[in-house]
Amino acid sequence: MEEAMSTFDAENTESHGEYGADQIQILEGLEAVRKRPGMYIGSTSSRGLHHLVYEIVDNAVDEALAGYCDTIEVVINPDNSVTVTDNGRGIPVGINHKAGIPAVEVVFTILHAGGKFGGGGYKVSGGLHGVGASVVNALSDWLEVDICSDGKIYRQRYERGKTMYPLKVVGECDPEKTGSKITFKPDATIFQETTVYDFDILKQRLREMAFLTKGLKIILRDTREENPQEKTFHYEGGIREFVSYLNRSKTPLYDDILYFEGEKNNVFVEVALQHNDSYTESVYSFVNNINTPEGGTHLVGFRNAITKTFNDYARNNKLLKDSEANLSGEDIREGMTAIISVKIEDPQFEGQTKQKLGNSEARGAVDSVVSEQLTYYLEQNPAVAKTICEKSILAQRAREAARKARELTRRKTALEGMSLPGKLADCSDKDPKNCEIYIVEGDSAGGSAKKARSRATQAILPLRGKILNVEKARLDKVYANAEIKAMITAFGTGIHEDFDISKLRYHKIIIMTDADVDGAHIATLLLTFIYRFMPELIKQGYVYLAQPPLYKLEKNKNVWYAYSDEELDRILREVGRDQNNKIQRYKGLGEMDAEQLWETTMDPEKRILLRVNMDEETESEVDLTFTTLMGDKVEPRREFIEENAKYAKNLDI
- Is 514 known to be catalytic? yes
- Cα–Cα distance measured from residue 227 to residue 634, given in angstroms and rounded to the nearest whole number: 29
Active-site entry in 62, 222, 441, 471: 441
Helix segments in 492-539, DSSP class H: 517-533, 535-539
- Cα–Cα distance measured from residue 532 to residue 279, given in angstroms and rounded to the nearest whole number: 10
- Cα–Cα distance measured from residue 302 to residue 369, given in angstroms and rounded to the nearest whole number: 9
Active-site entry in 443, 518, 615, 616: 518
Q: Is 418 helix (H, G, I), strand (E, B) or coil?
A: coil
Is residue 123 exposed (0-12), middle (13-18) or buried (19+ Cβ within 10 Å)?
A: middle
How many residues are present in the chain?
Answer: 653
DSSP state of 238: T
- Is 441 known to be catalytic? yes
Closest CA to 274 of 338, 324, 333: 338
315 within 8 A of 151, measured Cβ to Cβ: no
Residue 458: φ, ψ to 5°: -115, 120
- Cα–Cα distance measured from residue 436 to residue 490, given in angstroms and rounded to the nearest whole number: 11
- Is 187 known to be catalytic? no
Is residue 649 exposed (0-12), middle (13-18) or buried (19+ Cβ within 10 Å)?
A: exposed
Residue type, 100: G
- Is 518 known to be catalytic? yes
- Ramachandran bin of 318, using left for φ above 0, alpha for ψ from -120 to 50, beta for the remaining angles: left
The 10 Å Cβ neighbour count of residue 540 is 12
Distance of CA 244 to the CA centre of its chain: 20
Helix axes 297-316, 382-409, angle to 10 degrees: 110
Closest CA to 146 of 175, 178, 121: 178
Closest CA to 425 of 404, 409, 447, 442: 447
Where b means 16+ CB within 10 Å and e means fewer, 469-478 reads: ebbeebbbbb
484 within 8 A of 627, measured Cβ to Cβ: no
Active-site entry in 141, 281, 516, 616: 516
Active-site entry in 58, 241, 270, 514: 514
DSSP state of 466: P
Residues known to be catalytic: 441, 514, 516, 518
